[in-house]
Structure 1
Amino acid sequence: MILAGVKLLLMIVLLGYAMVWIMRPTKTFKQIWLPSIREKLNSSTYFGTQGTGFLMFVFPVLFVAVVGCVYLHFRKRSGDSKSESNIGKKNRLVTLKRPMLVKGPLGIVSGTELAFLTMFLALLIWSFSVYLVNGFAAITPKSAAKKGLTVWQAKLDSASLSLGLLGNICLALLFLPVARGSSLLPLLGLPSEACVKYHMWLGHTVLVFFTAHGLGYITLWALKNHISEMLQWARDDVSNVAGELALLSGLVMWATTYPGIRRKMFELFFYTHYLYILFMVFFIFHVGISFACLTLPGFYLFLVDRFLRFLQSRQRVRLVSARILPCDTVELNFSKNPRLSYNPMSILYINVPRISGLQWHPFTITSNSNLEPEKLSVVIKSDGSWTRKLHQMLSSPSSIDRLEVSVEGPYGPASTHFTRHEQLVMISGGSGITPFISIIRELIFASNTSQYKTPEVILVCAFKSSSELAMLDLLLPISGSPSDISKLQLKIEAFVTREKGPAKDNSTAPRAIWFNPHATDAPVSAILGPKSWLWLGAIISSSFIIFLIIIGLITGYYIYPIDQKTEGGFPWALRSFLNMLVICICIAMTASSAVLWNKKQNARDVKQIQNVEGSTPAGSPQTWLYKADRELESVPHQTLFQAINVHYGGRPDLKKILFECKGSSVGVLASGPKMMRHEIANICSSGLADNLHFESISFTW
């Protein structure tokens, strides 16, 4: 009941925040609301013009983020996050979750996404039309002449400004989808990986508006023969140079997001994306910190998340072993803190300095934190320059004694929503099977512990060659808690599309490599410990409160006296720089303190793990290889192999498979090539079968 009340409060605050953006272009906001608030806040010598922005735009979002952290913590403790696991539970918004758009530049778009996209576009259209109507209404020949403009030039000026203001709306949301550890995403039921496409949509929109904004003003200056204004950096007004530098940084980033460049030259795309730092710094210099408050909260939450990820990435993790499968696939096995738990389909970002010190790549976690409390595994398919280098490194004859690896995460969905269905159909292509490995292991655990009745599972997997059938060996863990797969109703339909029959030579077997981790290598742990949500809420709230105190003192005792004595007041650029500096210091100070505090608890857990691992005999890689092969071949769960039905020389008839599912609620999960996911989405959205509920899993942006 309390959690429901908190959720209602958060919804009210978010609706109020949205209402501010809706009213912002209107005369009511400019002539009544804003003057009234400024009269009360701007009279303060401690915040000045920034006070209004803090109250109206920064505080509501940070309040939702902090209270949301507390809500998620207690929901996790009360088990509410698994309340969706009850089979037969009806989804009231099931129609809105079905694919509504499949083909097109946006990819697969559900009804819910389409509804929010429509509302967002309506906000942009509303804002632009009101800005134009009010701006053009105020333009007269006399008012234009005062600025040295003709009437149509003044209208160009107003339209260009309006486009920049539209860009601010998009920029306010731009960083929220990529704040992986933020509480806002799980509050909305969104996994971090699924939100990358929203960041892409917003990024394109931001740069379209800002480019049009910049070109409009450059055109205006050229018509006035005042092109020298491009080099103007005003002391107490908008800085043209800073705006141009911000736009230039954005355009370089934008150019490298073109799919052909992003996929073929990923490193170029990856490195140029760090220009977001210059983009935001010069944007704040361009408009001033008071106006930047409109877009600050999303970036503030991103900075908190980014710094925590930076702290986690400094630690080398303990890579225990690797399995080389005969299909150019590698399974990496890390030591894990037993107190770290995660849901199926969670993502781990991995960095191997030996390959690239800056590149981070996301991979699905295939292990289960219940079945394997001290091990975390990811499967990596050799499909790209970075993954090929890793595979070559591990499969080379010269053995590697230790491989330095850093990680960020895990990040995953807040709940196991797929268990609410009576039947699950999971369709994969190639390495797309990896998210389903974690789901099947979770269902194995649930079926053995009798937490709830597990759905019937049909796994349809398509492979190019029979060597890729080795991926099915990963469905069962080779270590950890005992697992009886016979209690799970599992049926596997494997299709080998490019071969007419079983391969004659099946001598290639999985090969195991065992590493000798360094004493400083730590098990994978949650950067903020088991109470991560509470610690995150404490970091956000305390860092912002400390920022307000420090910036209030600086404003009251340093900036305000200069404002009173100096003509033109305190320089905008210096004021913005001081605010950015204090924000970074406060976030770094509070986040580092929280991480160090939790590191002590993690260190105690590490000692326990080391004691357990210390009992493992340190044999040569060849000895462990033989033992690993024996374990792989003597898996007692014969039920798994009896459940596998292999088909050669053709692709699965997806329409037939799906329409034959007669359960009242059938969850359809698709992971793999784009064309396959689109085909499945078309089938589920066709309306020919009301019991099919589609969900796409994509990691190809």
Structure 2
Amino acid sequence: MEKASASEGSSWDYHSNRALLLCHVGSKARRYSTYFRPCWEYMLSISVFSSDKKFFNFAAHWPNLRSKHQILKWDKTGISNVAGEISLLAGLILWCTTFPRIRRKAFELFFYTHYLYIVFVVFFVLHVGFSTICIILPGFYLFLIDRFLRFLQSQQRVRLVSARVLPCEAFELNFSKNPGLCYAPTSSIFINVPSISKLQWHPFTISSSSETDSDTLSIVVKVAGRWSNTLYQKLSSSSPLDHLQVSVEGPYGPTSTSFSRHEMLVMVSGGSGITPFISVIRSLLFRADSDRSGRTPRVLLVCAFKNSLDLTMLDLILPPSGTISNISNLQLQIEAYVTREKEEPLKHEKRLLQTIRFKPNNAALDEPISSVLGQNNWLYLGIIISSSFILFLLLIAFLDRYYIYPIDHNSNLIYPYVSRSFLDMGFLCVCIAITATSAFLWNKKQNKDLKQIKNMNTESTVDLPDSEYYNSERELESLPLQSFVQATKVHYGGRPDLKKILDGCEGSSIGVMVSGPRKLRQEVASICASNFTDNLHFESISFSW
């Protein structure tokens, strides 16, 4: 299991399964359910408590089911006990693997067992019949559309432009993206590297800003588990990679942010929890650089790290493309705390950041990251939902009128419930697949007609030498923009006094954002709650799942 915003398995409490459909309603992504519990918990609770009392009846009458024939009964025209038992067993296995100790210590077990939600849903439908499922059909229908759209997007290979490897066992991946793709700070994206695992998808906070990085999208990964460690070893090996095949889903996140409404922003982070704040600061740098009216809030970043090597994560705040002309336009102050070292390390002990340039293995296959339905998401989404549902109703009507009805009413036979449920589920999936695929391919065709990469082989978003792998000769203390160095103050051998820092902030409206361990979030929340001036507005970004 991975441990922070930059690690796989991170950003669970607010990033996971930010379904495309949910993102469009305007709510923040972190309010949604977790990625690896997308369907079964919802189906289990809603189905059991709202639409089906048969689970309770089955449990209540379990002592009376003494006959093996009753326990293994699969009635063609009634309730199937076997289907209910299989569905219940799959749900219990899913529930057991969600305990924190299991999902953190045995992440692969937690991940792969959650594919059993398919078994749970299918056999639950066979147990109660499709007509009963119609009570919760709207939510289930939207979930299927979202899941299929994500599947379509995940089949594309995206162009990985470069990687920056930090000495603190962290690295930044820079992808090519469509300039028309916009996302808000604190958004996230799901990453799959087939050479490591073809099934595992991990969410990461996006560290870039669509305002400062129009052609690239960046994420930061902190080594904290088997998957991220394997990827780190690939990137930091003495024989660097020429190409790395990657697929993505997303980005997902809030449709807008309210950072600018505050007079001052205080960002408190612990370890790799600094990742979402990188995108926020980059966005504010762009606004301050383009708008000289002074309406951009002042920013205080308070970050705590265990070791001095982790300070190199601050090196990622500035975009590699150098699109910001003057960082001094933003009133930025960085207070960095190194808790496990009492003094600054010697200069010869400092390790440098390394950069890797990747070559496209096949320019026709590697594409820039783009929205699954393009810029007209609302329009395409509405077409998919309405047209697929109308098509489904027509198919069900023809099925009942010309196939099932003659058997039920013109003969002594009763059409089996299981077969009817299979046909209904099949028609539902086919209708969604037809309409969603059509919209996806149409949008993909439009993207190709407007293809804008301008040959990434000759255009670089990072000012790099000709070599594919080199030491960038850049340290935190020698950043090109001197104002960034002046804005950074490093403290050794102690933790930040958060109460003193927050009490010393001046302003009528101060936004306080915290990202990091649970204890850190609780401490900051307690300080904001005990503030008597009511000028501290608390917002937590949680990655401890």
Q: When the two structures are superposed, what TM-score results if normalisation uses the length of structure 1?
A: 0.70
Q: CA deviation at 1:236?
A: 2.5
Judge which range, 182-191 or 340-349, deviates more: 182-191
Out of 233, 240, 255, the position equivalent to 1:414 is 255
Q: CA deviation at 1:418?
A: 2.2
Q: CA deviation at 1:331?
A: 0.5
Aligned residue pairs, count: 526
Out of 544, 549, 566, the position equivalent to 2:394 is 549
Contact 1:179 / 1:301 at 8 angstroms: preserved in 2? no
Contact 2:18 / 2:253 at 8 angstroms: preserved in 1? no
Judge which range, 558-567 or 517-526, deviates more: 558-567
Structure having the larger proportion of residues in strand: 2
Judge which range, 373-382 or 565-574, deviates more: 565-574
Superposed CA deviations along residues 607-635 of structure 1, whole A, max 9, x for unmatched, are x3143643569999873555844699875
The secondary structure found in structure 1 opposite 2:415 is coil
Classify 1:633/1:458 alpha carbon distance in 2 versus 1 (closer, same or farther; 3 Å). Answer: closer
2-side partners of 1:367 and 1:618: how far apart?
13
Residue matched to 2:146: 305
Residue matched to 1:584: 429
1-side partners of 2:490 and 2:340: how far apart?
13
Out of 515, 529, 533, the position equivalent to 2:358 is 515
Indicate the RMSD between aligned Cα atoms, in angstroms: 3.0
Which of structures 1 and 2 has the bigger CA Rg? 1
**1:108-507 equivalences in 2 (<5 Å):** 180-187=18-25, 189-191=27-29, 194-196=32-34, 203=41, 206=44, 214=55, 217-223=58-64, 225-226=66-67, 228-450=69-291, 453-479=295-321, 481-504=323-346, 505-507=348-350
Classify 1:324/1:548 alpha carbon distance in 2 versus 1 (closer, same or farther; 3 Å). Answer: same
2-side partners of 1:674 and 1:200: how far apart?
23
Q: CA deviation at 1:490?
A: 0.9
Contact 2:17 / 2:38 at 8 angstroms: preserved in 1? no
The yes-or-no answer on 1:537 pairing with 2:375 is: no
Q: CA deviation at 1:693?
A: 1.5
Contact 1:666 / 1:693 at 8 angstroms: preserved in 2? yes
Contact 1:204 / 1:254 at 8 angstroms: preserved in 2? no
Residue matched to 2:528: 684
Contact 1:328 / 1:391 at 8 angstroms: preserved in 2? yes
2-side partners of 1:389 and 1:598: how far apart?
35
Which one-letter code corresponds to 1:183 in the other structure? L
Classify 1:483/1:558 alpha carbon distance in 2 versus 1 (closer, same or farther; 3 Å). Answer: farther
Which one-letter code corresponds to 1:637 in the other structure? L
Classify 1:328/1:570 alpha carbon distance in 2 versus 1 (closer, same or farther; 3 Å). Answer: same
**1:654-665 equivalences in 2 (<5 Å):** 654-665=498-509
Out of 528, 550, 567, the position equivalent to 2:373 is 528
The secondary structure found in structure 2 opposite 1:428 is strand
Which one-letter code corresponds to 1:330 in the other structure? F
Contact 1:178 / 1:302 at 8 angstroms: preserved in 2? no
Classify 1:667/1:500 alpha carbon distance in 2 versus 1 (closer, same or farther; 3 Å). Answer: same
The secondary structure found in structure 2 opposite 1:668 is strand
Instruction: Using the aligned pairs only, state the percent identity.
Output: 54
Classify 1:208/1:343 alpha carbon distance in 2 versus 1 (closer, same or farther; 3 Å). Answer: closer
Answer 1 or 2: higher relative contact order, Cα 8 Å, separation at least 6: 2
Contact 1:326 / 1:510 at 8 angstroms: preserved in 2? yes
Residue matched to 2:3: none
Residue matched to 1:638: 482
The secondary structure found in structure 2 opposite 1:293 is helix
Structure 2 residue ranges without an equivalent (≥5): 1-12
Classify 1:428/1:421 alpha carbon distance in 2 versus 1 (closer, same or farther; 3 Å). Answer: same
Contact 2:407 / 2:413 at 8 angstroms: preserved in 1? no
Contact 2:189 / 2:204 at 8 angstroms: preserved in 1? yes
Superposed CA deviations along residues 609-665 of structure 1, whole A, max 9, x for unmatched, are 143643569999873555844699875422111111111100111111122223222
